[in-house]
Amino acid sequence: MGNIIIRELKPDDMPKLFNLVVTREELDIDGAKKRIQLMEWCAFKNPYANNEPTYFVAEDNGDIVAHLGRMPTEFMINGKHQKGYFGHDLYVHPEYRKKGMGFFLSMSLYKAIEERSDSFLCFIWTSRLNLDMQRRRGYYELKAGCYLKILNPAETLRKLLKQETLVKVLSPFIKLFLDLIDFGLLRFISDHREIVAMDRFDVRFDNFYQPILSKIGMCSYKQSAYLNWKLVDRPSSNVILLAAQEEGQLRGVVVLARHLGKPYPEGMIVDILADPQDTSTVVALLRAAIIHLKRKECFLLDVV
């Protein structure tokens, strides 16, 4: 353990980092290349980083054997600006886990990002084990709702029944039933908001969204530069932006993603950006999201 150095990630570390990423069991070579491109984008293109460290690594005899991300972010909390950080993307080389060094390396990386963060630090996308560990270390747990809507029941039935014949028989009838419910509900939702596609966020969005930030209790400070970095311009981006307009004025945006890597395509509502008191726009954006993802033949809609 005496040879291990904990330090911030540098741009010229990316080849070494790739050698670590390629050891992930769930990734092939192409998957590792895509992941390393995304990590580089997150690490060195963040518009809120201001030259602060964004990833920390553990180095042993010149090799990178573990990493942990620390994403600088600006928040709005009760209408006031607050700097904060997201800790994310912990990974330790499997050989070092086998040696019993996984916990030591993880704690060393956590300590490094805590010491370098001068505001609050929160963790997202953590495993159950990691969550239990952070609770014991004094972190407060915040929960947000996550909702699923079944658009096509075939895969759900397949998991429940485990009999392909029954799935083939029942799935069309249940899908028809779900479609009829959606048809009945969606037709009664007012569509006086015009829904149009957007390519990216721009000054028009900033002019619309900045005045309503104070109405949202706590959220990241969402400017067009940040949203384009996070969602639109990043490597392998697959988001769809749908905007709600009324008489030519922007009223809100819904951000959708469609995941094709699973056995069946799944849709996700990544974000809804609207005045929280403008329920007409929020409902119109939800309606547009359901219709769009149904047309893309997604089996499930995930709202996070």
What pLDDT is attached to residue 100? 92
Contact 268, 275 (CB under 8 A): no
For all residues of the chain together, what is the average pLDDT? 88
Whole-number percent of the chain with pLDDT over 70: 95
Instruction: Report residue 185's pLDDT band, with 50, 70 and 90 as the boundaries.
Output: confident
CB atoms within 10 A of CB 250: 19
Segment 81-94 shows an average pLDDT of 93
Q: What is the DSSP string of 8-37?
A: E--GGGHHHHHHHHTT-TT--HHHHHHHHH
Instruction: Report residue 135's pLDDT band, with 50, 70 and 90 as the boundaries.
Output: confident
pLDDT tens-digit profile of 13-25? 999 999 999 999 9
Instruction: Report residue 262's pLDDT band, with 50, 70 and 90 as the boundaries.
Output: low
Q: How far is CA 201 from the centre of its chain?
A: 18
Q: Which of 290, 235, 238 is nearest to 261 (CA)?
A: 238
The count of residues in the chain is: 304
> Which residue has better confidence, 184 or 116?
116
Q: Which of 242, 263, 264 is nearest to 253 (CA)?
A: 242
> Which residue has better confidence, 54 or 139?
54
What pLDDT is attached to residue 304? 58
What pLDDT is attached to residue 162? 78
Q: How far is CA 104 from the centre of its chain?
A: 28
Q: pTM here?
A: 0.84
Task: Give me 190's structure tokens.
Answer: 């007012």
Which is it for the CA torsion 50, 55, 58, 64, positive or negative? negative
- The domains of the chain, with CATH numbers, are 4-136 (3.40.630.30), 147-303 (3.40.630)
What pLDDT is attached to residue 154? 83
Q: Which of 119, 76, 15, 47 is nearest to 216 (CA)?
A: 76
pLDDT tens-digit profile of 289-304? 998 988 888 877 776 5
Q: Which of 165, 53, 64, 68 is nearest to 117 (CA)?
A: 53
CB atoms within 10 A of CB 6: 17
CB atoms within 10 A of CB 136: 7
Instruction: Report residue 64's pLDDT band, with 50, 70 and 90 as the boundaries.
Output: very high
Q: Which of 232, 228, 276 is nearest to 252 (CA)?
A: 276
> Which residue has better confidence, 179 or 204?
204
What pLDDT is attached to residue 2? 60
Least confident of 39-48, 99-108, 238-247, 258-267: 258-267
The runs of H, that is alpha helices, within 143-215 are 154-161, 164-187, 203-209
**3-state SS assignment for residue 123:** strand
The pLDDT of residue 55 is above 80: yes
